[in-house]
Amino acid sequence: MKGVLFDLDGVITDTAKFHFKAWSKLAKDKLDVDLPASFETELKGVSRIDSMNKIIEFSGKQADFSEAEVAEMAAAKNDFYLKEIDKLTQKDILPGIENLLDALSANNILLSIASASKNAPFILKKLGLFERFDAIANPENVEHGKPAPDIFIEAANQIHVDPKECVGLEDAVAGVQAINDAKAVSVGIGNAEELNQADVVVKSTADLSYMLLDQAYGEHRKRY
């Protein structure tokens, strides 16, 4: 194992509640539709524009908006979201993550962010973790969002490591599929039944450790 590729939301910190609050406000203000709580899972790990399109489709008004209008609404959502996540502090880092970063760095493992969020640098700075990572993949530089493997391949490229020499951490089904298709070893965080395509699943970030990731890599590394 030479690198670890981290999703951000649900792995390093939990900003899902802020995302869904922003999407719900936008859906009500712009589309006059109330998003059910269950719809949050539809947006998990999905890019901003793809999330916007899913919400428009849910509203039944997909024929009413141009590509530019979709982008404008997505930007409006992000403005509201940024106001919410400005409140983030180091206390919002998920359990065990700081210890995991310490252990990985001590073992000379390169660390890269593979998030669909364009706000990853801002969020990491609010958490005091920006300097802990060797690279942050820019989602604007990849053609396809998750579940396509592009962002994980880009995250590995940014640390000059083959994805097959990496472990990826994800809490979303789409993200696990992306890691697998990038040929990295996948570690899912959350519900084992939901994330059953992952090579290894842990219940919580508190269960992550260098030893667990190293063992997962040794047992599941993809040989192609």
Around Cβ 158, how many Cβ atoms within 10 Å? 21
Catalytic pick from 9, 150, 171, 199?
Answer: 9
| 150: annotated active-site residue | no
d(CA 131, CA 197): 32
Around Cβ 103, how many Cβ atoms within 10 Å? 16
| 7: annotated active-site residue | yes
Element (DSSP H or E) covering residue 56: helix 48-59
Q: What's the order of all strands across the beta sheet hosting 135-136?
A: 135-136, 110-113, 3-6, 166-170, 185-189, 200-202
Residues with Cβ within 8 Å of 122's Cβ and at least 6 positions away in sequence, in order, are: 82, 85
- Residues paired with 112 in a beta bridge: 5, 135
d(CA 42, CA 204): 21
Around Cβ 98, how many Cβ atoms within 10 Å? 16
Catalytic pick from 7, 150, 171, 199?
Answer: 7
Catalytic residues: 7, 9
